[in-house]
Amino acid sequence: MTKRLRLRFSGIVQGVGFRPFVYRLAVAHGLGGFVQNRLDGVFVEIEGNDKAIEAFVYRTAAELPPLAQISEIYTEDAEPIGESSFRIIPSEDEGRPDVLVSPDAATCRECLQELFDPDDRRFRYPFINCSNCGPRLTIVTNTPFERKNTSMADFTLCEKCRQEHQDPLSRRFHAEPNACPECGPEIWLADAKGSRLDCADPLRKTIELLKEGKAVAVKGLGGFHLCADAANSEALGRLRKRKFREEKPFAIMMRDIERARAVAELTSDEEKLLGSAERPIVLVKKKAESTLSPFVAPGMADLGVMLPYTPVQHLLLREDFEALVMTSANQTGEPVCTSNSEALRRLKGIADYFLFHNRNIAVRCDDSVTMFAQGAQRVLRRSRGYVPKPLVLARQYPSVLGLGAHLKTAVCILKGDFAFLSQYVGNMDTPETREFFHESIANLRRVTGCDPDIVACDMHPDYYTTWVSTQMERRVVQVQHHHAHIASCMAENRITGDVIGLAMDWTGYGLDRRIWGGEFLVADEADFQRAGHIRYFPLPGGDASVKQPWRIAAALLMECFEDDWKKMAEKLKILPEDIPYESVEAVVRQKVQTVFTSSLGRVFDAVSCILGVRRQVSFEGQAAMELEACAGGSSSSKVLPYDILMDREIILDFYPAIRRLAEERVRGMSVRDLSGAFHATLIQSFAKVAQEIRDATGLNRVVLSGGCFQNRLLLSGCVAELDLKGFDVYTHYLVPPNDSGLSLGQVLVAGTVAG
Ligand SMILES: [Zn+2]
Ligand SMILES: [Zn+2]
Ligand SMILES: [Zn+2]
């Protein structure tokens, strides 16, 4: 029986090979009709045998192109008109910014086959791509996503490439970055001064240099990587010294899953994530024995691993290396370099050579970082591969731009029921990052075609982002830091209404002008109440304590042991040798430059120091990460003492726990056991406080957010314990729990308040 069916697909369905996919399916099933890009999605009419139509509909959903994502399919029967052939008809209105830009995607299997096929015209061509893979966001200069609006506008398609671009049956139909050795971009190798080296095969030469222990800056999709042989300790030691990055772990790139298995304990979920089109860095458990240099990730239980995602990376890794260090090429704290001249200037003295190419990077984008915990992917840094895919919210809101906080910034635009979270921008301390921040706002406006009238920012009076909000001549909504964290997690999980929010974090400006960071909130999308918090403790030296956890440890010991603190501090070797006890005591007692905080992150810092894991850190979170690593993957059954004081707010007092930790450490209990007990104490006490709040409010939904939930042990333990106690628990998946997910919460709150 002949039927005609009308379908509308919405979601990410344009610029991702969806129309040719529909075309091929329709032709394969002998169906007539057409497919067309429209403002509100892709429109299809299909006519023919009803069985064939059924098969067509089934296969569109089941065999979707890898970059496409359907959020809704609308279908409706229509009168057959006797159409027997299938056509792709011109778009109703190209040029509308409603068309979503897809994230960049890793080189697909078909392209890889061609890349290593000596008979293929793109054999070893470093810019091979197709409708299913290659650069997207990072080459966008304008919308809609057409070649003339990308960095590929500089290259005129040769006849063969043009035919592929226009043939609906080709894998490269409308693949805007399509290129070949004849018409596309090229690579070349340059020395430290930028002079082009005369060599026939720059890739082979690069491999040789890397083998000699050289550091090569390699231009990639969203920026440059600094690249070195991960087995060569001498090379890595030199790179660390030059980058002033003595301890921060380097990410490594392995040729394939088999190689990755040799250095890390991988679960099948982690393997899947490693091989996904997003190709993030995945934090996985390091094997004790491996051929990797110990300089890759000193002190860490985890290893940041990724698989190659560009043709250049495949070509570098194919035959010669176990693993390459691929760290984003920048001075610590600055954004990754993108242009050739910028790389030369900023990587002077760091890179020995440069592997350049002439396809401009239009949008700066770091590698994304993820981990697997409690049965799901957890994105910790959301950039290449994920951005600018929107998050779909529970309902429509007025448009809002969210600016983030200060550290780990990312911006966000809320438009309708879509939230577009930008790539990771970074710490707003340097002029370079601030420039990147403005670049990201401009880019997000371009990609979304939306310039909101409302701006959301943090409440901290001294943040650069707060100042920027005042300069924009828009309506400004200030959102409390931890409310924004909880709202971010609510947005991601599409929940509305009152919840219990646990914001376990590093630093956030509180309503009482103190530094919050261990917060129990009762919140909805519009407002919150502080139901409880971790007991305030002093942060002597203010910002100096951030890099020097021993200051916090000393202050806490003074609080816990009073006059006996010195004995304790001596036994635990808390203070650096050149610091006299008297001066520390004076600072704490006189409260010179001392602020008070309820930050769990700072408790982690202090405990790490008390247990002898870390006295000083070179990056935020280092002490906490190493403390987690010490626990060896499990919290213990032993719980340290703590108090829950019922005041106007609930005060969770960890002083008894700190006392016990210090005493047991002095008695010689292992760091492993004590770290396990510390984690267990946090988990138990948080669940206990949540129960108190449930008893008082009747709320049963608990939302977990804040930077401390990057800690796998804490996250898994809290979810399991709260689950056991009958709570409905909500956590982050695609949005980071740390401050780079904050702007999502800001826009949700501001959008709710304004709507
Ligand atoms: Zn491909
Ligand atoms: Zn060509
Ligand atoms: Zn935060």
Residue 342's SS3 state is helix
Tell me what pLDDT residue 699 has: 98
**Helix ranges restricted to H, 548-621:** 549-561, 565-572, 581-589, 600-610
Report how far ligand 2's centroid is from the alpha carbon of 155 (Å): 9
| Ligand that lies nearest to the alpha carbon of residue 115, given by its number in the listed order | 1
Contacts of 212 (CB under 8 A, 6+ apart): none
Amino acid at position 102, single letter: S
In the prediction, which pLDDT does 675 show?
Answer: 96
CA-to-CA separations, 722 to 377, 694, 719, in angstroms, rounded: 20, 12, 5
Q: Which amino acid is at 77?
A: D
CA–CA dist 741, 278 (Å, integer): 18
User: How many A from CA of 162 to the centre of ligand 2?
Assistant: 7
DSSP assignment of 399-411 equals EEEE---SSSB--
* Residue owning tokens 């992150």: 601
Residues 438 and 466: beta-carbon distance below 8 Å: no
CA angle, 378 then 653 then 593, to 5°: 90
Does residue 542 carry a pLDDT above 90? no
Q: What is the DSSP letter of 100?
A: P
Mean of pLDDT values over 85-97: 70
CA of 495 to the centre of ligand 1 (A): 37
Strand partners, 487: none
Task: Give 744's pLDDT tier (boundaries 50, 70, 90).
Answer: very high
CA of 737 to the centre of ligand 3 (A): 8
Task: Name residue 522's beta-bridge partners.
Answer: 500, 529
Ligand closest to the CA atom of residue 129: 1
DSSP 362: -
Question: Measured in angstroms, how far is the CA atom of residue 437 from the centroid of ligand 3?
Answer: 18
d(CA 388, ligand 2 centre) in Å: 28
Taking the centre of ligand 3 as the mean of its atom positions, its distance from the CA of residue 631, in whole angstroms, is: 24
What percent of the chain stands above pLDDT 90?
76
Helix (H, G, I), strand (E, B) or coil at 702: strand
Please tell me the distance from the alpha carbon of residue 279 to that of residue 456, in angstroms, as a whole number.
31
CB 233 within 8 A of CB 293: yes
Compute, in angstroms, the gap from residue 100 CA to the centroid of ligand 2.
27
Q: Calculate how far, in angstroms, residue 709's C-alpha sits from the geometric centre of ligand 2.
A: 48
- Check if the beta carbon of residue 384 is closer than 8 Å to that of residue 367: yes
243 sits in the region (left: phi over 0; alpha: psi -120 to 50; else beta) called alpha
Ligand 2 centroid – CA 83 distance (Å)? 36
Q: How far is the CA of 141 from the centre of ligand 2 (A)?
A: 21
Query: pLDDT category, 650, cuts 50, 70, 90?
Result: very high
User: Is residue 447 scored above 60 in pLDDT?
Assistant: yes
pLDDT of res. 92? 67
Residue 403 Cα to ligand 3 midpoint, Å, equals 13
CA of 291 to the centre of ligand 3 (A): 37
Distance 707 CA to ligand 3 centre (A): 6
Closest ligand to the CA of 165: 2
Please give the Cα distance from 540 to 40 (Å, whole number).
56
Q: Which two tokens stand for residue 631?
A: 């626990």
Return the ligand number nearest the Cα of 161.
2
Q: How far is the CA of 447 from the centre of ligand 1 (A)?
A: 23
Asked if residues 538 and 596 have their Cβ atoms less than 8 Å apart, the reply is yes
Report d(CA 121, CA 170) in Å as an integer. 15
What's the confidence (pLDDT) of residue 246?
Answer: 65
Distance CA 497, CA 487 (A): 10
> Considering every ligand atom, which ligand is closest to the CA of 519?
3
On whether the CB atoms of residues 640 and 658 are closer than 8 A, the answer is no
Nearest ligand atom owner, CA of 130: 1
Ligand 3 centroid, distance to 516 Cα (angstroms): 9
Give the SS3 label for residue 73.
Answer: strand
State residue 96's pLDDT score. 47
User: Could you tell me the domains of the chain?
Assistant: 2-88 (3.30.70.100), 187-369 (3.90.870.40)
Count Cα neighbours of 529 within 13 Å in the Cβ-side half-sphere: 9
CA of 131 to the centre of ligand 1 (A): 6
Say how many Å lie between the CA of residue 132 and the centre of ligand 1.
5
Residue owning tokens 């999980």: 493
SS (H, E, C) 105-157: ECCCHHHHHHHCCCCCCCCCCCCCCECCEECCHHHECCCCCCHHHEHHHHCCC
> Which one of the ligands is nearest to 67 CA?
1
Q: Report whether 72 contacts 13 (CB < 8 A).
A: no
At residue 530, does pLDDT exceed 90?
yes
**Residues in a beta bridge with 188:** 356
Buried b (16+ CB within 10 A) or exposed e, 276-308: bbbbbbbbbebeeebebbebbbeebbbbbbbbb
| Both structure tokens of 588 | 């704490």
The predicted structure's pLDDT at residue 436: 96
Q: Which of 720, 717, 719 is nearest to 732 (CA)?
A: 719
> How far away, in angstroms, is 110 Cα from ligand 2 center?
17
Distance (Å, whole) CA 578 – CA 576: 6
Kindly identify the ligand whose nearest atom is closest to the C-alpha of 162.
Answer: 2
**Res. 99: pLDDT tops 60:** no
Rounded CA Rg of the chain: 27
Ligand lying closest to the C-alpha of residue 114: 1
Residue 642 in contact with residue 681, Cβ under 8 Å? yes
Ligand nearest to the CA of 108: 1
CA distance 529 to 113: 57
The pTM of this model reads 0.92
Q: What is the pLDDT of residues 595-614, one digit of tens each?
A: 899 999 999 999 999 999 98
Q: Is the pLDDT of residue 491 over 70?
A: yes
Distance 179 CA to ligand 2 centre (A): 5
pLDDT at 95: 44
> From ligand 2's centre to the CA of 79, what distance in Å?
43
pLDDT tens per residue across span 670-689: 999 999 999 999 999 999 99
Cα 477 to ligand 2 centre (Å): 50
Q: How confident is the model at residue 185 (pLDDT cuts 50, 70, 90)?
A: very high
Length reported for the chain: 755
Give residue 193's pLDDT: 95
Question: What SS3 state is found at 624?
Answer: helix
Q: How far is the CA of 385 from the centre of ligand 2 (A)?
A: 26
**Which candidate, 663, 641, 662, places its Cα nearest to that of 652?**
641
Distance of alpha carbon 155 from alpha carbon 147, whole angstroms: 9
Residue closest to 131 by CA, chosen among 316, 322, 277: 277
Q: Rounded to the nearest whole angstrom, what is the distance from the C-alpha of residue 359 to the centroid of ligand 2?
A: 14
Question: In Å, how far are 166, 421, 480, 644 from 140, measured between CA atoms?
Answer: 21, 17, 34, 53
* Cα-to-centroid distance, 682 and ligand 2 (Å): 59
Ligand nearest to the CA of 159: 2
Q: Are strands 2-12 and 69-78 parallel, antiparallel or unpaired?
A: antiparallel
**Phi and psi torsions of 276, nearest 5°:** -70, 160
Instruction: Report how far ligand 1's centroid is from the alpha carbon of 145 (Å).
Output: 17
Q: Which pLDDT does position 534 carry in this prediction?
A: 98
> Which residues sit opposite 521 in a β-bridge?
501, 530
**Cα of 111 to ligand 1 centre, how many Å?**
4
Higher per-residue pLDDT: 731 or 394: 731
Separation between Cα atoms, residue 253 and residue 313, nearest integer Å? 9
Which bound ligand lies closest to the C-alpha atom of 180? Answer: 2
pLDDT tens digits, one per residue of 351-390 = 999 999 999 999 999 999 999 999 999 999 999 999 998 9
Q: Could you read off the pLDDT of 276-313 as tens digits, one per residue? A: 999 999 999 999 888 899 899 887 889 999 999 999 99
Rounded to the nearest whole angstrom, what is the distance from the C-alpha of residue 129 to the centroid of ligand 1?
A: 5
Query: For 237-265, how does the pLDDT look when each residue is reduced to its tens digit (9 = 90+)?
Result: 999 888 766 678 899 999 999 999 999 99
C-alpha angle 600-606-608 in degrees, rounded to nearest 5:
105
Closest listed ligand to the CA of 112:
1
Cα(291) to centroid of ligand 1, in Å?
32
Instruction: Using the predicted structure, report yes or no on whether residue 332 has a pLDDT greater than 80.
Output: no
- The amino acid occupying position 573 is K
Q: Is 692 exposed, middle or buried (0-12, 13-18, 19+ CB in 10 A)?
A: middle
Mean pLDDT for all residues in the chain: 92
- Specify the 3-state DSSP secondary structure of 228: strand
Which is it for strands 376-381 and 391-402: parallel, antiparallel or unpaired?
A: unpaired
Q: What tokens appear for 703 in the block?
A: 């939302």
pLDDT over 50 at 444, yes or no:
yes
Which ligand is nearest the CA of 122, by number? 2
Q: What separation in Å is there between the alpha carbon of 308 and the centre of ligand 1?
A: 14
Q: Per-residue DSSP letters for 627-641?
A: HHHHTTT---S----
Please give the distance, rounded to the nearest whole angstrom, from the Cα atom of residue 109 to the centre of ligand 1: 7
From the CA of 550, how far away is ligand 3's center (Å)?
Answer: 22
* pLDDT (average), residues 318-332: 86
Chain position carrying tokens 């700190």: 658
* CA of 178 relative to ligand 2 center, distance in Å: 7
Phi-psi region of 230 (alpha: psi -120 to 50; beta: other; left: phi over 0): alpha
Q: Strand, coil or helix: what is 484?
A: helix
- Token pair of 328 as six digits: 């984003």
- Rounded distance from Cα 109 to ligand 2 centre (Å): 20
